Amino acid sequence: MACGPGLILAARVRYACGPVRSLLLCCGLVVASAACKPPEMTPVDSGMPHLEGCPTTFSHHALASASSVTLVGEWNAFDRQSQPMSDSSGSGNWSGTFTVPPGRWAYAFLENGAEVTDAQVRAVRYVNGRPWGAVDVADCKKPRVTVQEGTLTNQGGAFSVGLSVSLAASVEVQLTLPDGTQLSRTVEVSGGTATYSESGLSPGKYTAKVTATGGADPLLLPFWVEAERFSFRDSPMYMLLIDRFRNGDPGNDAPGAATAGFRGGDLQGVEAAIREGYFDALHIKAIWLAPWQTQPTRIFSDDGVHSISGYHGYWPVKARQVDPRFGGDAALKSMVREAHRHGIRIVMDAVLNHVHADHEYFQDPAKKSWFRTGCNCGSSDACGWDNAALTCLFRDYMPDIDWTNNQASDQLVSDMVWWIETFDLDGIRVDAVKHVEDAAIVNLTNAVRSRFENGGTDYFMFGENFTGDSGAIKKSIGPNRLDAQLNFPLFMSVPETVFARDDQGLQLVKNSTAGNLADFGDAMMVDFVGNHDVARFITKADPANRDRQGNQWDNLPGAPSGQVPYDRLFLAFENLMTIPGVPLVYYGDEYGEWGGADPDNRHMMNQAATYLPEQRGQLERMQKLLAARAKLRGLRRGPLQDLWCNEENWGQGKGNLYAYARTDVDPHHSAVVVLNLTGNTWTNVGLAFPASLGWSQGTLREELTGVERPFSNSSFTVDVPARGAVILSFK
């Protein structure tokens, strides 16, 4: 193989005292050829006592014909001779059992003396500035409990799982119920195995904490009891800034004097909206909240004229504390519990690139090596947002976290795991992915999966890479990385040019959507028409205000002029909610909030009592649209099947009428969607249904109006409203 950077090695490793697990080895800048030299380094303390080692079996499938495969590991100074592996079957599957002390250790494989690439990576550890794959070895002298593969069942309020138990005669189980009540169980062990089961469980989220008697590190089994197993494809993701959503407790207000400062929103306000059914009416079952960690009390200049505070949450100064201005720890726990009562998942915003200069870690002299301080991103040609992405600072008061420091990496990952476990969270959104080393993504995502997914519940983890480059975004997506990312390529291609301005036609929507699906495959990409970093879509769609969409502080855009901007926004959502992916609703867009560039795109959320008439109508039809998506499984999970898109010239692009289907194995859960980009109703639009839909005759329902009509011969005609859509289902 050619020598090159970023090589990845992989293995399957089995501990003598535990189950099989897949591990990743990232070999960084090591050269993959026979000329690659062995690392000259000494063992690095893993942070754990060097007890007698545990027999640990390593397995590796050689990617090329190899006459020898050798394991090299940090635990014996990367000796390149002492740990040969064997391929007894001659199939290229090499294995070996070696004594490895408990702890996290860097290691790699050599094929014929050369390091090689393989599948994936589950942990990264730096030794002398170089990234390696890492293996976590448990202490085999301590009792331990793990899940037996293929034994977990969860159906009809009954939960059961088989357990493998070492060095213990029983296990203790503490079950936390949806209302916070805890029940204790003792499960006897026979022949090193046990079965834990519960029945008669009501809907909600549960967590079983299973501990081998006398052991440490309990096994967590979070699981949901619900009619249908949830997928994040099933719900729009609602994104909100806590400070700007709703003021639930004026007693914790501390607005300060910043131009862009705290306005009083808090977690109590979010909980009140959940309790009142605001999100239920929108059929939203996932909420991503901007960071809630404590922010600095100081105010900072944005441009020498205007000032800003940490109201947005992205300047953490405490690792494990909810900002009192957001309600504190108790408010977060209460809000999450209320959300779970409504079947709503809560996603935390993880800031992994930086902290604020007032952060407790940065202020600790012993932790100064965890951070970089230097040039600001974009301040020079040598310190650009791209060519210095891993080292530059967003602001001079935002020290950059150095993920090549193992202590920093371990602590930041530990903090995130603590947040999820302590507050019973359901997922993570990773901020500024391109500005952190691979170690941040690999170590965090795999720590979360190994800790929280043993009960059969998926924890959705997606990131942000503000680029239209699909290739750059895909680098962080995979089985042992992020599940998905915010879909900036689709955002940069479609919503504004087509739905806000008519610069392009629906052929662009059709082609961009198809290309996007080809790029990202089954990844649950988070699609959006607007977010907290860009001007509001409705301002872009309003000729009277769109020229001011880039303004932050002065000459700001105002309320939309007339009904058309609302119609354009709704048509963009009609498309967004009916294509594959996880659609995002940025707070306020559901009723048509306006605004320019950050921070003008972060107005205080309008409440029902002060809605404009157009806003009230917009919210009502958004509720109908999201109800249709919730009702029809095809709209949530089915593949996209293009029917046709007309070729009539439209502005600089083509196509102003586009029909497509989202299919399901049950024809009654399939849907056909027709979009109309023109300003006039398009009458008598003919549809011929493909056999794959299973629609030959019967009654069709238009989901947004409730109108029902019979059809036959697998064909139908329909009127499509101006700048609108129809969504047809088979009754």
Is residue 602 one of the residues assigned to a domain?
yes
Tokens, residue 121: 């990576």
Could you give the number of structural domains in the chain? 5
Assigned domain for 548 exists: no
Element (H, E) at 185: strand 182-188
b/e per residue, 678-705, with b = 16+ CB within 10 A?
eeeebeebebebeeebbbeeeebbbbbe
pLDDT at 53 over 90: yes
3-state SS, residue 687? strand
- Answer whether 36's CB lies under 8 Å from 67's CB: no
Q: E strand or H helix at 705, and its extent? A: none
CA distance 697 to 373: 68
Last residue of a domain, one of 225, 254, 278: 225
In three-state secondary structure terms, 124 is strand
11 or 28: which leads in pLDDT: 11
Q: If DSSP states are collapsed to H, E and C, what string results for 308-358?
A: ECCCCCCCCCCCCCECHHHCHHHHHHHHHHHHHHCCCEEEEEECCCECCCC
**Which of the pair, 647 or 669, is modelled with greater confidence?**
669
Residue with the larger pLDDT of the pair 145 and 36: 145
Alpha carbon of residue 68 to chain centroid: 40
Instruction: Give tens-digit pLDDT for 447-467.
Output: 999 999 999 999 999 999 999
Determine the pLDDT at residue 505: 94
Same domain, 624 and 527: yes
Residue 120, pLDDT above cutoff 80:
no
For the cut 90, the answer to whether the pLDDT of residue 15 exceeds it is no
Tell whether the model's pLDDT for residue 7 goes beyond 80.
no
Residue pair 576/528 in contact by the 8 Å Cβ criterion:
yes
As a whole number of Å, the end-to-end CA separation of the chain is 58
Within a domain: residue 530? yes
Q: Are 268 and 386 found together in one domain?
A: no
The DSSP bridge partners found for residue 424 are: none
425 in Cβ contact with 419 (< 8 Å): yes
Signed CA dihedral, 279, 280, 281, 286: sign only: positive
pLDDT-derived band at 217 (thresholds 50, 70, 90) equals confident
- CB 683, CB 719: distance < 8 Å: yes
**Same-domain pairing of 107 and 217:** no
Q: Which residues pair with 584 in a beta bridge?
A: 237
Q: Which of 641, 643, 638, 703 is nearest to 665 (CA)?
A: 638
Mean per-residue pLDDT for 707-722?
97
Residue 543 lies in a domain: no
Of 558, 577, 542, 566, nearest to 615 by C-alpha is 566
Question: Which pLDDT does position 49 carry in this prediction?
Answer: 43
**Do 372 and 359 share a domain, yes or no?**
no
Q: What is the band of 653 on the pLDDT scale with cuts at 50, 70, 90?
A: low
Token pair recorded at residue 544: 């009277």
pLDDT of residue 712: 97
Using alpha carbons only, what angle is made at residue 485 by residues 480 and 489, rounded to the nearest 5 degrees?
135
Residue 585 CB-density burial (10 A; 0-12 exposed, 13-18 middle, 19+ buried): buried
Question: What DSSP string describes 12-25?
Answer: EEEETTS-EEEEEE
Residue 655: which pLDDT band, with cuts at 50, 70 and 90? confident
Average pLDDT, the chain: 91
Average pLDDT value for residue range 26-30 = 30
Least confident among 85-99, 111-125, 172-186? 111-125
Q: Does any domain span residue 615?
A: yes
Residue 451 lies in a domain: yes
Domain extent, residue 714, equals 639-730
Instruction: Tell me: pLDDT of 278 over 70.
Output: yes
How far apart, in whole angstroms, are the C-alpha atoms of residue 280 and residue 526?
A: 20
Average pLDDT over residues 489-512: 96
Q: Of the ranges 77-86, 112-121, 324-333, which one carries the lowest mean pLDDT score?
A: 112-121
Distance CA 203, CA 208 (A): 15
Same domain, 196 and 312: no
Q: Determine the Cα–Cα distance for residues 295 and 604; give it in Å rounded to an integer.
A: 19
In sequence order, what are the residues at sequence separation of 6 or more whose Cβ sits closer than 8 angstroms to the Cβ of residue 503?
497, 651, 652, 653
- Asked if the structure places residue 722 within a domain, the reply is yes
Cis, peptide link before residue 479, omega less than 30° from 0: no
Mean pLDDT of 220-226: 98
Predicted pLDDT of residue 43:
40
Domain boundary at 190, 225, 260, which? 225
Instruction: Label residue 64 by pLDDT band (50, 70, 90).
Output: confident
Residue 666 in this model has a pLDDT that exceeds 70: yes
What CA–CA distance (Å, rounded) separates 22 from 140?
19
What pLDDT score was predicted for residue 65?
A: 81
Neighbours of 73 (CB within 10 A): 22
What is the model's pLDDT at position 52? 77
Task: Write down the pLDDT at residue 654.
Answer: 75
Question: Are 342 and 484 in the same domain?
Answer: yes
pLDDT, mean of residues 351-380:
97
β-strands 286-289, 345-350 pairing: parallel
Residue 480 sits at φ, ψ, to 5 deg, of -120, 25
pLDDT at 26: 33
Residue 124 sits in a domain whose CATH number is 2.60.40.10
- Give yes or no for a contact between 576 and 731, defined as CB atoms under 8 angstroms apart: no
Name the 3-class secondary structure at 554: coil
What average pLDDT does the segment 665-694 reach? 96
Least confident of 21-25, 263-267, 360-364, 596-600: 21-25
Least confident of 93-102, 212-221, 512-521, 560-569: 212-221
Q: Do 70 and 102 have their domain in common?
A: yes
Residue 481: alpha-carbon gap to chain centroid: 10
643 pLDDT more than 90: yes
* Same-domain pairing of 371 and 353: no
The answer on pLDDT for 37 being more than 50 is: no
CATH number at residue 696: 2.60.40.1180
Q: Which of 44-53, 193-202, 646-655 has the highest mean pLDDT?
A: 193-202
Kindly state whether residues 217 and 359 are assigned to the same domain.
no
CA-to-CA separations, 652 to 363, 503, 568, in angstroms, rounded: 56, 6, 18
Contacts of 269 (CB under 8 A, 6+ apart): 242, 245, 246, 247, 248, 249
What are the structure tokens assigned to 339, written together? Answer: 């959300």
Residue 105's H or E segment, with its range, is strand 103-111
Same domain, 606 and 685: no
Residue 478 domain-assigned? Answer: yes
Strands (DSSP E) along 507-589, which ranges? 526-527, 582-586
Bridge partner residues of 185 (DSSP): 173
pLDDT (mean) for 335-341? 98
Residues 264 and 330 in one domain: yes
112 and 213, same domain (yes or no): no
Burial class (CB in 10 A: 0-12, 13-18, 19+), 105: buried
Domain boundary among 225, 244, 270: 225
Binning pLDDT at 50, 70 and 90, where does residue 63 land? confident
